[in-house]
Structure 1
Amino acid sequence: MMSEKVIILVLMAIFILSPRQGVAAVLRYSEIHNDSSGIVSDDFSGEQLNTDVWHCVDPVGDADFLLNGTNLLISLPEGSDHDIWHGGNKAARVMQTARNSDFGVEVKFDSQLQGEYAMQGIVVEENGDNFLRFEFYSTSNEMYLFAVVFTNGTPSIMLQKKIKRNGVMYMRVVRSADTWIQRYSDDGLLWQDGALYNHSLHVTAIGPYAGNAGDKPTHTASIDYFYNCAAPIHPEDQVETEPAVVSDLTAHATSMSTIELTWSDNCDNEDCYIIERSEPGVSEYTEIARVGTNVSRFQEAIQSPMNRTFAYRICAVNAAGCSEYSNKQRVTLPVHPVISFFYGDSQPFGHHGIPQRYVNVLGTISDTEMLKASFFSLNAAASETLKLGSDRKRLGYAGDFNIELHTHSLQTGYNSVTVTVVQNDQTTTNKTIDLLWQPYRSNPSSHAVKWDTVRNIQHVAQVIDGKWMISDGMLRTAEVGYDRLVALGDTSWANYEMTVPVKIHNYYTRSAEGGGPGVGLVARWKGHSGDDRPRLDHPYGILAWYKMGSPPTDFYRLCLFKDGDQMVAEDLSGCKLDLNTVYMFKLKVMNAVNGLTAYSYKVWPQQESEPLEWSLTATVAGPSTGSLLLVAHKVDVSFGDIEISGIETSGVATEHGIVHEKSADVLSPFSPNPFNRCTTMRIRLYEQQAVLMSIYDVLGRVAATPVDKILAAGDHTITWNGTDVTGTPVPSGLYLSQINIGMFVYRGRIVVVR
């Protein structure tokens, strides 16, 4: 059994250190010599779990176990119960054999707990009915330390203690004969008391776990290490140098009582970030929170503030010490609701193609309980009512808005949209965003997006729904919800292939709207339709989909859906994509005979060679052109660098090859030219096609759009009467014409004489 000296070391209070004092001098129980438990320390630094030490236990059968090079990740889906209670231990866990002797173990969790209830901790087992549960768990607003004894399947709570919510959590469990000691820390330096009790248990196994209950939130336990305190090892990500200084700290109010901080994560060896705050008249800063590794955002809710102005600074911490402090940022809480535009106060549209008939102004308004009404106006025109969320569909969160502006309502160059809110006391607040409308008809030839070179998503794509961010060189959902959409390309695109890496982090099954979760690609997109605001109907050509099941059904499948959400092909092999693993999604789109389109879809692991065969194919009726969408429905997902290549053909695809030499011809250019009252041109379509005719002035502004619709196969006459989009005659001068018919483009010059 453990010596008296070791017992004293285990129970002694760890001295308090400030983050800039001797961090490396902390005792880590390296003097526990009388440990014969056989428990093996692991820093989870490899690519595969060491199966000579650990075995995975997945009672529910839906957990994912993954090593990312520094941490063990145990991921649980939403809506599936992984509780440890009267029904037994349903938590997903990794276990190793342990001898029935004294020991001390330590685990570090880098994962934050969110929702009611998310859980992570250590389980010590004799068998399936007799074991000990040492745990951190969260409610919707609080964090708790928890300890439970299970005797013949019956639980007895030994401790339930409210603790400070934190991004990094350490736990120690020490056994001396029948005495059990639980301690916890938020920095691995200062340890606080947890449970202390006596209980007889014949130990056979021990390990860390992830669980959920209550609302069954999704949760991924990120475990940095699991140590035998008598034989600790240095984690692979711990270094002997202090972390780099944090830079680019920003602070802004997101509501009348909430402040959001963002910063640049310049470190690759931090254990956590310490966030400090000061108030007017106080020169000293006080620590208010610690957040985990690779975090670059923090939000503080300030309860009934006496002061409304605060200053913040941040430092990074690891075992070697603390970085210098970041730049300081001062922010004042407003006295009115805050209007925020998700992608900045000035946004470009149309310059990378026209992917749909609308542009979307996305944002949110805080403190909606104080609002009486909300409006918006375009270019100082009459105000229109602005609908605010949540509607549990396109408006995912309270205060969210999505202003859909038809491209025909925009003037080339700068436009302004003003959002106005009226509070219950009749006070008004407004904010204006500048929209730069630069319409350009792109083509899919050699089109690519590299996210690590992109500063603003709107510069290379058009976000249609939701809040997205660029993280780790990929485009990722910042807020998960119903049909989060990003559009690429142009409504004139016809024949092309698209390839994109996809990494699914987690998915959510609780809400009923729109069916179960999924991720994929949409082709032949033109824009939402319908009478709702924002519009809810979503006509398209094809949805290449990976569908994830809702418990208790274990349903994972690749599918193709045509317009109307009708399934036209599915893979019945039971394809299940692992969480936090990159897969390649590829979609091929080709016009076929009789107005049909041939679609081909395949998915494969990124580390493997591309398979020769397509996973699914379908040839269906629908639009002959359209843009592309990235789609995330109730899924936390990242999309990698996108490659799109146009397919040059002299015809269209069939099951037996290519037919028709061309999809369109110009029979005669505009005539008369020059003209005064009207001019006409004649075209021939060899199949039903979307036809767009645009007239530009010499500055590149759209003067008129004589045709923008789908025309049947045959000969057609296009007429321009010399008026602009408002019906006003254009002045004399030179104008440029461009007609887009699938991959077919024709340009010409027209002279107007008044």
Structure 2
Amino acid sequence: MQAPPTIDIWYGSEQRFGHCGQPQRWANILGRVRSDQPIRQLTCTLNGGAARPLSMGPDARRLAAPGDFNIDLDCRDLAPGANTIVVAATDGAGLTTMRTVTLTVAGDPCPLPYTIDWARVEQIQDVAHVVDGRWTCGAHGVSPLEIGYDRLLAIGDMAWRNYEVLVPITVHGINAACFQYPSVHAGVGVIMRWKGHANWGKDEWASGQPCFGPSPYGAIGWYCVFHDAGPMLNLFDPDFQRTAEVSRTLALHVPYLFRVRVEPGEGVRSLYSLKVWPAHEAEPAAWDLRTLGSYAGLSEGAIMLGAHHTAATFGNVTVTPLP
């Protein structure tokens, strides 16, 4: 007898959002659908509303593997308290499977300073919001289980403005897919002043669901390996410019401390800073990179830990307010 599709909801049938700040415009419900037959239709409903079609991976961007889906729920459409999301998958034989997720929405603030000790975290979503990918956490830190395009964890609140972030990062390897369109590099680091993806429309590789435009934001402080320029530290702005960079190769499986900062600069342009050093060494006094942000950069926003086509482990996170 033909088996119906299976739907795996990665972070469980009971999820929360907004209990430790609202880090972005979207609440994401992630998972994967499998079937012996091609999936004919994948949809979701919110609180009994109309069915909404969902895209399935792979799409070379946010949906990394076959059957991956990412339900991007606009927070303006969510009710305070419990929200019911029903995911339905129908295969080519007409068999349908449904899974229900209860998303409890709060409006709790997330004051600074804010710290995460991963050894004390039972579920990632207790302290952060998974934007993309399958992640695992424990005493070692937090890591994406599968390498892919922009594996992302959002932390904090969109109202955060000036702050400094300290987090150890260990790079274990990169995926060669990083050199294939639409990517041109691998990278790992911290996104500052994040508020959520934007919808750029459609192209041959990615649909508008989930929306995939990564900007606007403030800036990204990270380590990258480019197909042309090689390995480097850089500050990357929402105009897709490396506004400051320095050649650097990080050793694999060695933890490095990343410190990034955003603070007032000149006029509407903020000042962004980055330094990276081996975790077993003393912190250097000087910043590796400093630059004024883009005029397009946001004036406030949460942070994200990002691993782009990179196997990496992020350690405990400390976010400190600045004037």
Q: Normalising to structure 2: TM-score of the pair?
A: 0.93
The 1:602/1:368 distance shift into structure 2, 3 A limit, reads farther
Which residue of 2 is the match for residue 400 of structure 1?
68
Q: Aligned ranges for residues 493-572 of structure 1 at < 5 Å?
A: 493-511=160-178, 512=180, 513-530=182-199, 531=201, 532-539=208-215, 540-550=217-227, 555-571=230-246
The alignment partner of 2:189 has SS state of strand
1:479 is the counterpart of 2:146: yes
Which amino acid is the alignment partner of residue 231 of structure 2?
Y
Q: Aligned ranges for residues 178-197 of structure 1 at < 5 Å?
A: none
Q: Distance in 1 between matches of 2:225 and 2:289?
A: 17
The alignment partner of 2:191 has SS state of strand
Q: Distance in 1 between matches of 2:89 and 2:191?
A: 35
Which residue of 1 is the match for residue 121 of structure 2?
454
C-alpha displacement of 1:544: 0.8
The 1:471/1:579 distance shift into structure 2, 3 A limit, reads farther
- State the Cα deviation string for residues 470-517 of structure 1 (Å, max 9, x = none): 144310110000011110111110111110000011111235132111
Q: Distance in 2 between matches of 1:482 and 1:558?
A: 19
* Runs of 4+ residues deviating >4 angstroms: none
The alignment partner of 1:464 has SS state of strand
Q: Are 1:441 and 1:492, in contact at CA under 8 Å, matched by a contact in 2?
A: no
Q: Are 2:5 and 2:96, in contact at CA under 8 Å, matched by a contact in 1?
A: no
Q: Aligned ranges for residues 379-394 of structure 1 at < 5 Å?
A: 379-394=47-62
Q: Aligned ranges for residues 512-661 of structure 1 at < 5 Å?
A: 512=180, 513-530=182-199, 531=201, 532-539=208-215, 540-550=217-227, 555-571=230-246, 574-620=247-293, 621=295, 622-647=297-322, 649=323
Q: Distance in 1 between matches of 2:113 and 2:233?
A: 27
Q: Distance in 1 between matches of 2:123 and 2:36?
A: 28
Q: Aligned ranges for residues 719-734 of structure 1 at < 5 Å?
A: none
Which amino acid is the alignment partner of residue 569 of structure 1?
A
Which residue of 2 is the match for residue 465 of structure 1?
132
Which residue of 2 is the match for residue 265 of structure 1?
none
Percent of pairs with identical residues: 34
Which residue of 2 is the match for residue 344 of structure 1?
12
C-alpha displacement of 1:440: 1.9
Q: 1:440 aligns with which of 93, 96, 108?
A: 108
Q: Distance in 2 between matches of 1:473 and 1:413?
A: 33
C-alpha displacement of 1:549: 4.0
C-alpha displacement of 1:424: 1.6
The alignment partner of 2:303 has SS state of strand
Structure ranking higher on relative contact order (CA contacts 8 Å, 6+ apart): 2
Which residue of 2 is the match for residue 138 of structure 1?
none
The 1:386/1:368 distance shift into structure 2, 3 A limit, reads farther
Which residue of 2 is the match for residue 696 of structure 1?
none
C-alpha displacement of 1:593: 3.8
The alignment partner of 1:377 has SS state of strand
Q: Distance in 2 between matches of 1:602 and 1:418?
A: 44
The 1:364/1:391 distance shift into structure 2, 3 A limit, reads same
C-alpha displacement of 1:429: 1.2
The alignment partner of 2:176 has SS state of coil
Q: Are 2:177 and 2:309, in contact at CA under 8 Å, matched by a contact in 1?
A: no
C-alpha displacement of 1:386: 1.2
RMSD, aligned α-carbons: 1.6
C-alpha displacement of 1:392: 1.6
The alignment partner of 1:517 has SS state of strand
Most deviating of 450-459 and 615-624: 615-624
Q: Are 1:542 and 1:563, in contact at CA under 8 Å, matched by a contact in 2?
A: yes
The alignment partner of 1:452 has SS state of helix
The alignment partner of 2:132 has SS state of coil
Q: Distance in 2 between matches of 1:387 and 1:588?
A: 36
Higher Rg? 1
Q: Distance in 2 between matches of 1:562 and 1:554?
A: 17
The alignment partner of 2:177 has SS state of coil
The alignment partner of 1:613 has SS state of coil
Q: Distance in 2 between matches of 1:448 and 1:472?
A: 15
Q: Distance in 2 between matches of 1:645 and 1:499?
A: 8
- State the Cα deviation string for residues 633-685 of structure 1 (Å, max 9, x = none): 100000000011111x3xxxxxxxxxxxxxxxxxxxxxxxxxxxxxxxxxxxx
Q: Are 1:336 and 1:429, in contact at CA under 8 Å, matched by a contact in 2?
A: yes
The alignment partner of 1:644 has SS state of strand
- State the Cα deviation string for residues 105-126 of structure 1 (Å, max 9, x = none): xxxxxxxxxxxxxxxxxxxxxx
Q: Are 1:591 and 1:624, in contact at CA under 8 Å, matched by a contact in 2?
A: no
5+ residue gaps, structure 1, are 1-255, 257-333, 650-754
Q: Normalising to structure 1: TM-score of the pair?
A: 0.40
Q: Distance in 2 between matches of 1:569 and 1:612?
A: 18
The alignment partner of 1:592 has SS state of strand
Which amino acid is the alignment partner of residue 435 of structure 1?
L
The alignment partner of 1:537 has SS state of coil
- How many equivalent pairs are there? 311
The alignment partner of 2:267 has SS state of helix
Q: Are 1:502 and 1:640, in contact at CA under 8 Å, matched by a contact in 2?
A: yes
Which residue of 1 is the match for residue 93 of structure 2?
425
Q: Are 2:37 and 2:93, in contact at CA under 8 Å, matched by a contact in 1?
A: no
Q: Distance in 2 between matches of 1:413 and 1:473?
A: 33
Q: Distance in 2 between matches of 1:528 and 1:480?
A: 20
Q: Are 2:184 and 2:226, in contact at CA under 8 Å, matched by a contact in 1?
A: no
Q: Distance in 2 between matches of 1:391 and 1:381?
A: 27
Q: Distance in 2 between matches of 1:348 and 1:536?
A: 23
